[in-house]
């Protein structure tokens, strides 16, 4: 008996050209590169990049390799024909504390992405007497804080002091949300009352990765 397997996974050249154009444009824009900048980096003409992004060209492997290298990805990322959105699921058991203090404060890394346009989501708890001093991030970095419970004292700017005071100090309570440009020093401190718990979201554009917190320091 002869058995035959029907294979329906053949990808037509036209489909590859459309996917290549879509992926190239998306990757270029994520890296904030102009068409001219990409063409120069890859050693191809501006017209070649335009034709590829429009889905009207199937370039040779050499051109694909140069484009991929210029964007910091593999060739497979350029010719991926999948239209499904990317999904990354991190289960609760994998969200473990990465930093802790003797008083019981902790920072739990929930989920994040790689550059470019890296982001991270953290679950923070600061016990009475503890604080965190954040180093300046590259210009363009945004931090968002949402207080789940307790009171948080946030200070942003070059006048951050050890006592938690400064020119731009804000007190937040449960349910409050704030975002700020994080290219200046910033300090999170426990305010009055029980421990404060808050979510921290960081988004940093460009190819530079987000540096992890240096640690939790007791307030003075």
Q: What is the pLDDT along the chain (220 residues), one digit of tens a residue?
A: 444 433 344 557 788 889 899 999 999 998 889 999 999 999 999 999 999 999 988 888 889 989 999 998 888 888 887 767 778 888 988 887 888 888 999 999 998 877 666 889 999 999 998 988 888 888 889 999 999 999 999 999 865 555 544 568 899 999 999 999 998 889 999 877 899 999 999 998 765 445 555 555 544 4
10 Å Cβ neighbour count for 153?
A: 21
Give dist(CA 28, CA 100) in Å, integer: 39
Assign 72 to helix, strand or coil. coil
pTM score, two decimals? 0.65
Query: What does the DSSP 8-state code read for residue 212?
Result: P
- CA 24 from centroid of its chain's CA atoms: 20
Residue spans of alpha helices (H) in the chain: 13-30, 35-42, 46-53, 61-71, 75-78
Which CATH superfamily groups domain 13-78? lambda repressor-like DNA-binding domains (1.10.260.40)
Q: Which of 32, 203, 30, 199 is nearest to 125 (CA)?
A: 199
Q: Which of 210, 211, 209, 156 is nearest to 185 (CA)?
A: 156
The domain segmentation of the chain, as residue ranges, is 13-78, 92-218
> Which pLDDT value is given to residue 128?
92
Q: Across-strand partners of 121?
A: 111, 201
**Check whether domain 92-218 has CATH 1.10.10.10, yes or no:** no
């Amino acid at each position: 008996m002869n058995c035959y397997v029907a294979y329906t996974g053949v990808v037509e050249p036209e489909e590859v050209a459309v996917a290549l154009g879509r992926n190239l444009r998306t990757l270029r824009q994520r890296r904030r590169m102009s068409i001219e900048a990409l063409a120069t980096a890859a050693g191809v003409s501006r017209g070649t990049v335009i034709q590829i992004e429009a889905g009207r060209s199937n370039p040779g492997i050499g051109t694909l390799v140069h484009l991929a290298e210029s964007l910091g990805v593999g060739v497979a990322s350029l010719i991926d024909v999948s239209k499904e959105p990317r999904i990354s699921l991190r289960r609760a058991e994998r969200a473990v504390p990465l930093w802790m203090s003797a008083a019981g404060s902790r920072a739990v890394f929930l989920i994040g992405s790689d550059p470019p346009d890296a982001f991270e989501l953290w679950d923070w708890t600061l016990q009475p007497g503890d604080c965190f001093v954040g180093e300046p991030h590259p210009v363009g970095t945004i931090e968002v804080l949402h207080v789940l419970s307790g009171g948080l004292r946030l200070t942003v700017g070059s006048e951050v002091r050890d006592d938690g005071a400064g020119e731009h100090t804000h007190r937040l309570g449960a349910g409050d949300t704030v975002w700020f440009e994080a290219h200046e020093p910033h300090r999170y401190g426990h305010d009055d009352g029980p421990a404060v718990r808050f979510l921290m979201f960081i988004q940093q554009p460009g190819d530079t990765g987000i540096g992890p917190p240096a640690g939790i320091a007791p307030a003075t």
